[in-house]
Amino acid sequence: MRKISAKWNDWRWQLKNRAKTLADFEKAGIVLTEDEVSVLQGLQLRTAVTPYYLSLISRGHDIYNPLRKRAIPTIAETNTNWGMRDPLHEDTEGKGMQIFTHRYPDRIAAYVTDQCATYCRHCTRRRKSGETDKPMSQDQIEFMIEYVAKTPKVRDVLLTGGDPLTMSTDRLAKIVEPLRKINHVEIIRIGSAAPVTFPMRINQNLVNMMKEYGVRPLNTHFIHPYEVTPEAVEALDRLVNNGITVYNQTPLLADVNNCVPVLMKLFQTLAFHGVSPYYLFQADQVQGTAHFACSVDALVNAYNGLQGVTTGFAVPRAMIDVPGGGGKTPIANITSKVGNITTLVNFEGKSFQYEEPNLAPGLNNPQTCNYLTKKCNICREN
């Protein structure tokens, strides 16, 4: 099922026509479970999915399609017995108007909008993503730019959100242009799932703006091979062929991609199209996402399972973004693991702990991996 509108390739049309309610999903022909229906009826959780991404979910009407887990809310998200509202302390360490976080010495993450094209159910910023569904105010943007201008050690600015590419190219240019005029700013980059959730956003106008102001790389967020569609490849080609480096960051998610053949297929496909598989993350310790979390052992096993059996540059770095604001920390920095508590030392030499939920699924466990129990094509081929 795929009803193509004449405006299908208009990224603004994709944003305007996102599925947000039960009626929207039913109109799109999505076969919903009782669980999904109950959540959507109550409108308990912020939800929006582009028509494009819905078309990937609806193919075959398969309730085990891993992509639906990324986009359609379930009752499991109301479980707050595990995790924290802001595990990475982004708000705690946020500066001034909470528009950015200056955690690492030479770079900041600027939250220029809280809008996403599709709201990922495992999102680290689920506490505020979609809160207003619009960009930050001009006063907030100016506050961030002023901070960067008067802080010489900041050489790298990440525009994130939300998703910055839900903003118009002209509006983005008004943020990027003054940043580019600051002598000590060397890198301006964008974090966006647009190549995944509405690849038509990666148009030539956007690419031209990025080239003009030297905006690179673009960090994106593919989590499964099914997302690397012809439309996504066209978007990636447009970026790569215009000299814009693309990095990918993938969280390890239970019953979505916690399977070495699935991960290998994803990373090999991305590498073939010029995208660097940069990080493979342990799922963040976020309230409402315990059903996505795998054990830390699963992350280690996934990383080890990729070593040597595929091209080196198709193997991402395995990382845990440790709770408490310690930052992205490689699994090599694990100092101990006792039960469901893993201790790591971060880049500052400080110790932090990551707590797995109880009964976290392991890697390639036939009891917990839908790909093995449902015999998906990827596992069958491997």
**Active site members:** 103-104, 107, 116, 120, 123, 125, 284, 321, 328
CA distances from 144 to 86, 129, 178 (A): 21, 19, 11
**How is residue 227 written in tokens?**
């997302």
Decide: helix, strand or coil at residue 33: coil
SS3 20: coil
Give the C-alpha separation, 183 to 208, whole Å: 22
Contact 223, 232 (CB under 8 A): no
Spatial separation of the C-alpha atoms in residues 223 and 196, rounded to whole Å: 9
Which residues have C-beta within 8 Å of that of residue 108, sequence separation ≥ 6?
Answer: 100, 101, 102, 144, 147, 148, 154, 156, 157, 158
Indicate the pairing of strand 341-345 with strand 351-355. antiparallel
Contact indicator for 256, 266 with CB cutoff of 8 Å:
no
**What are the CA-CA distances from residue 381 to residues 156, 258, 263, 321, 377 (Å)?**
42, 16, 13, 32, 6
Rounded Cα distance between 351 and 232, Å, is: 39
Length of the chain, in residues: 382
Rounded-to-integer distance, Cα 319 and Cα 332, Å: 9
Q: What angle do CA 231, 236, 238 make, to 5 degrees?
A: 95
Q: 185, 375, 349: which is closest to 262 by C-alpha?
A: 375
Sheet holding 334-338, edge to edge: 334-338, 341-345, 351-355
**SS3 category, 56:** helix
